[in-house]
Each structure stands twice: as C-alpha cells, then as structure tokens.
Amino acid sequence: MTGVELIVAALAAGAAAGSTDVTKSAISDSYIGLKNLLRRRLLGRDRAQKALDAAEVESDQWQALLIADLAESGAAADEQVITAARRLLSLAEPDGAAAASYQVSADYAKGVQFGSHNTQTNTFN
C-alpha cells in the first residue's frame, strides 16, 4: 500500500470507527491528530483542506479530491504522517491491520477502488 492509500484508508476508518467509549476516544484522538498533521502539510491547498473536513460527511467524494494533493504535498513520504495513519488504522480496524489486509498491488489496474464494502460500476471503452 502506498503512503497515500494508507492515509486515505486511515481517514476513512477513523471517520467510521469506534465501538466502545474507550475505543471511540482513542480513535477520535488519533483521527484528530492525523488530520492536524495533514492540515499543516496541506497548507495553502484549499481543495485539500475542504476535503479533510468532508471526510466525515461525503465519503464518496473527498477521497478523489484529496489523493492528488496528498501525493504532491509529500504527505505520503512524511514519517510522522505515516506513523499517525498506521496507528489510526490499528486502532480503528485491528483485525485488518493485524492481517495485513492493506497490502494491495494495483499495478496496471483500471477502475480500482480501495476500502471495504464499496460499490463501483465501470464502463471501459
């Protein structure tokens, strides 16, 4: 999984996860921490800043808006950001993180979608 894919997966998991009060608190703190790191990294990128806010509301749209800015800003290579994203994923989806379900290779793929419980319709011409 690339750094960008890891960050996006962590943001999606953080926005949707937490089953107990203790878990919710730990996930919430980790999620807020990751978003704060990303806000600093994405300073001056208004579209990306708005996408970070939309992560909690419009899950089908924010990822596409954020992916390019994450790659261009260098966030995917920032160890602090990657560490925060890994921590959030391990808290939000401990079974997935432990099973390494995030090891994905999509080289030369078309119409790929990452994440769980997605629906996608492709038409290739």
For the cut 50, the answer to whether the pLDDT of residue 113 exceeds it is yes
For the cut 70, the answer to whether the pLDDT of residue 118 exceeds it is no
pLDDT of residue 21: 64
Q: How far apart are CA 116 and CA 82, in angstroms?
A: 20
Alpha helices in the chain (DSSP H): 3-16, 21-41, 46-54, 59-73, 79-92, 94-98
Helix (H, G, I), strand (E, B) or coil at 78: coil
pLDDT of residue 85: 92
pLDDT of residue 25: 82
Residue pair 37/46 in contact (Cβ under 8 Å)? The answer is no
Q: What is the DSSP letter of 45?
A: -
Whole-structure pTM value: 0.64
Residue 98 pLDDT level (bands cut at 50, 70, 90):
very low
- Plot region of 105 (φ>0 → left; ψ -120 to 50 → alpha; else → beta): beta
